[in-house]
Amino acid sequence: MSEVAPLSPEIIQAVITQYFAATRSANKADEMVACFAEDTVSYDPVGTPAKQGHAQLHAFFQQIAALFVKVELCEEFITINGDEAAVKWTGRGIGHNGRAVTFEGIDLFEFNHEGKIQSLKAYWNPAVILAELQEGSDVS
């Protein structure tokens, strides 16, 4: 049985660019999910239950986007090693309470041989963001 060659760094870079561009699009959840394998597993953020497959991932992305009037993630540093990549990113958003928030994280990606994200481990702290988005609002 022959071993499958790793993806080229250019393919991985293109998928990462597509994923982060999707966070800045009007159709975030659909475009983000399109970057993932059907049987993907995502820990976003790490420490929460895994999201498995497109349906759970789509629901999660919609849930996060619904917290904001506007939100986007911008990749700042990408390093690729074989079929894996680490990305340092910054998120910026405006909550329904009008408050602007900035947050940061690191995503660890593993890619399958079709060039789709097979797994994602995301390191960021949603509790801080939620506190900012709820402050001054009628959310209890």
120, 128 contact by CB (below 8 A): no
What is the value of pTM for the model shown?
0.90
Mean pLDDT of the chain: 93
Structure tokens at 3: 């071993």
pLDDT digit string (tens) for 90-121?
999 999 999 999 999 999 999 999 999 999 99
Per-residue confidence band for 23, with pLDDT thresholds at 50, 70 and 90: very high
- Find, among 137, 108, 98, 130, the residue nearest to 43 by Cα: 108
Structure tokens at 9: 């760094």
9-134: CATH architecture: Roll (3.10)
Amino acid at 36: F
Q: CB-based burial of residue 69 (10 Å sphere; 0-12 exposed, 13-18 middle, 19+ buried)?
A: exposed
